[in-house]
Amino acid sequence: MGFKKILCPVDFSPCSRDALRTAAQLAREWSASLVVAHVWQPSQWSFGELAPDVIQAAVDAEQAELRNAEMLAKELGVRVVEPRFLTGSPWDQLVTAVRNDPEIDLIVMGTHGRTGLKHVVMGSVAEKVVRHAPCAVLVIRSREGK
């Protein structure tokens, strides 16, 4: 079994870097293209208090990080890498991106492994993507601290 197009969401954490490395390896092995996506979620509490130039600086910084992730995927041997900068609720934007691009047949993403109250309050993007995605999802647990 092989895949044609893989989506790898990145939040620039060590866990998402591990997922990107796995996604790149799978893309190389299957000659698949790789979509590296980042979802920017403006803070609903402070958005009105921040100056537009501060918001733009934050967006610019995250877009630069996305370009770095794209370059890493290429350095890891992926031939076709497509960056996508999305805005909104991360799990919803990722699921929508897959629904709008029927060629995507696998999502490879990291998980922070939150448990207890943190999980209840913040939820899990990975868990929601697994429940709602119209394709296979491979969730990579961070190797950090192991």
Instruction: Compare 124 and 4 and report the one with higher pLDDT.
Output: 4
Instruction: Give me the number of domains the chain comprises.
Output: 1
Domain membership flag for residue 110? yes
62 lies in which domain range? 5-141
Residue 67 CB-density burial (10 A; 0-12 exposed, 13-18 middle, 19+ buried): middle
- 8 Å CB contact between 19 and 140: yes
Q: Residue 144 is encoded by which pair of tokens?
A: 């950090």
Percent of the chain with pLDDT over 90: 70
Query: 9: domain CATH number?
Result: 3.40.50.620
Percent of the chain with pLDDT over 70: 84
Band of residue 121 on the pLDDT scale cut at 50, 70, 90: very low
Domain membership flag for residue 146? no
Q: What tens digit of pLDDT does each residue of 88-113 get?
A: 999 999 999 999 999 999 999 998 64
Please report the pLDDT score of residue 139 as a whole number.
Answer: 94
Q: What is the pTM of this model?
A: 0.87
Please report the pLDDT score of residue 140 as a whole number.
Answer: 92
